[in-house]
Amino acid sequence: MVKIGIMGAAGKMGRTLVQVINQDPECCLAGALESSSCPLLGQDAGTVAGIQPQGIFLSSDPESLGPCDVFIDFTTPEALPSHVEIATRQGKAFVVGTTGLQQAHFDLLEKASKTIAVLWAPNFSVGVNLIAKLVQIAANVLSAGFDVEIIEAHHRLKKDAPSGTAIKLLEVLKEAYRTSDVVYGRQGITGERPAHQIGVHAIRGGDIVGDHTVSFCGIGERIEITHRASSRETFARGAIRAAKYLAGKSPGRYTIEEVLGL
């Protein structure tokens, strides 16, 4: 039984994680951390998540958490440094799905990996990580004579653009196309499209969970690889799968591809 602590347990992803953990016989909720400003502090994490009480209460004190094997963090870049410190100090494996990170955040994760097991991924969906492989295969075949564009869409509350997943797909394409020529949206008289330029476009609106499309546009044909997420559960299930994989692992950096066997 893997004991999981959730950082940001009252947030949208935090509540979804609590719901999915409750459905998984191989793990249990062992801690629910929230910021000191959260108005729900002291409430049962299960009740907050809309399920039966779990006997685990939202707390802003990391020392009050029960014995955890792994922490999962889907909060904000601003909260990450303190969460890294908590996981490192307590010697717990650390799964991170927060996007919008800067190099300083990745440096913190790298430093933490010297003493604990760490896994960061921009997307924990099985399908998204599979299409990254498919995009790599397609790009290696189509890099000559095909223009490539990334279009991603998310809900109106998402704070970073482009998404972490779009950035991951972009890195795959930059390597295959051997280019650093990237344009983020277009406006005005842009002239003819340069060969091997990669376009990236972000849509924000409504409650879109997450859509990603990579279009390879040739003469007389177009190939599109698309993934659409209809529920946050797909990300939560992937993160819990990663947590179970990381439990008991030696210190180091691990990847979602290792978890999924890709």
How does pLDDT run across 18-31, given as a tens digit for each residue?
999 999 999 999 99
Say whether both 100 and 19 belong to one domain.
yes
Say whether both 187 and 95 belong to one domain.
no
The per-residue pLDDT of the chain, averaged, comes to 95
Say whether both 238 and 109 belong to one domain.
yes
Catalytic: which of 3, 154, 227, 244? 154
Strand locations in the chain (E): 2-7, 27-33, 70-73, 93-96, 117-120, 147-154, 182-184, 198-204, 210-217, 222-229, 252-254
Question: For position 143, what pLDDT does the model report?
Answer: 87
Say whether both 130 and 110 belong to one domain.
no
How does pLDDT run across 8-54, given as a tens digit for each residue?
999 999 999 999 999 999 999 999 999 999 999 999 999 999 999 99
- Annotated catalytic residue 154: yes
Write out the residue range of the structural domain in which residue 252 sits.
2-120+232-260
Residue that is written with structure tokens 């698309």 in the block: 226
Residue 262 pLDDT more than 80?
no
Number of structural domains found in the chain:
2
